[in-house]
Amino acid sequence: MSEKPRALVTGGAGFIGSHLCARLLAEGYRVVCMDNLRTGSLRNIARLKNDPDFEYVDHDVTTYIHLPGGLDEIYHLASPASPADFERIPIPILKVGAIGTYNALGLARARGARLMLASTSEVYGDPLVHPQPETYWGNVNPIGVRGVYDEAKRYAESITMAYHRHHGVDTRIVRIFNSYGPYMRLDDGRMIPNFITQALRGEPLTIYGDGSQTRSVQYVDDLIEGMIRLMRSDETRPVNIGNPVEYSVKEVAELILRLSGSGSELVYRPLPEDDPRQRCPDITRAREVLGWEPRVSAEEGLKATIEWFARETGGSVR
């Protein structure tokens, strides 16, 4: 009987990372979850800690990664990703995108492991092309507040492709669009956690801008399925994984109010610098190469997420 494959998930105690760790364990992997808990939480992986195939390593990937034993796959998710973090911890964001990705690629090269880089729709910046295909090079302000994350991920993609072309490292790049679900940080600062937390507390929902800007939001289970399919494919080009159904920010707020039964009002604040007016994936490549498309509706996914937030905060869904 062959030994179970072993995977490293950097940023594994984060929102997406914890879901990925759980899915890999269910798929029969031995999983090493690596995190420095800067934005991740041990609470996110508490449900996994008693699994004999799960191992947690407290480590900052911007320092050399020493991991004894065989290694088949690396999922490099480590990075703060919330707009609230861009001003709070800009240097660590740049370091994990550059040095952290360099260290993860070095480990993949040394062990002959396949590496997936978790990139982002933020590489498209405030796009001038809509929806955004992988061939679009983006419209990013490199010196803006958001630039620390956008450029960190753009650099991470560049070094990943350089290691693939120059060193023959087996790499994958997933460009993740707005995702949500249980185990998000309550203070994440992004649209859906903000709206849900405010709705459950009976506070006004804060909309930045006039609410007409659009977002495409996907439930985390759909994202994880896309990532698994990409890792198992032969596709080395970047692949968008996101939900192409667009909602205005105001529509998302109103849907959360309805699903939570909240009587909160909507309040409007100025739009932050470089906040994209539109963000929507072209998922033609994912459909054709991976046979993937999202399955969970916004209503179904938001309902499950609101119920989880209510349990975490002691709030109530009416």
The answer to whether the CB of 220 falls within 8 A of the CB of 16 is yes
Q: How many residues does the chain have?
A: 318
State the Cα–Cα distance between residues 195 and 306, nearest whole angstrom.
10
| Phi-psi label, residue 77: left if phi above 0, alpha if psi -120 to 50, beta otherwise | alpha
Angle between helices 191-201 and 298-313 (to 10 degrees): 60
Whether the CA torsion 140, 144, 150, 151 is positive or negative: it is: positive
State the Cα–Cα distance between residues 18 and 67, nearest whole angstrom.
19
Verify whether residue 208 is a known catalytic residue. no
Which entry of 75, 124, 149, 183 is annotated as an active-site residue?
A: 149
Q: 3-state secondary structure string, 118-177?
A: EEEHHHHECCCCCCECCCCCCECCCCCCCHHHHHHHHHHHHHHHHHHHHHCCCEEEEEEC
State the Cα–Cα distance between residues 153 and 161, nearest whole angstrom.
12
What end-to-end distance do the CA atoms of the chain give, in Å? 52
The answer to whether the CB of 24 falls within 8 A of the CB of 7 is yes
Q: Give 144's Cβ-side CA count (13 Å radius).
A: 17
Q: Give 37's Cβ-side CA count (13 Å radius).
A: 8
Active site residues: 149
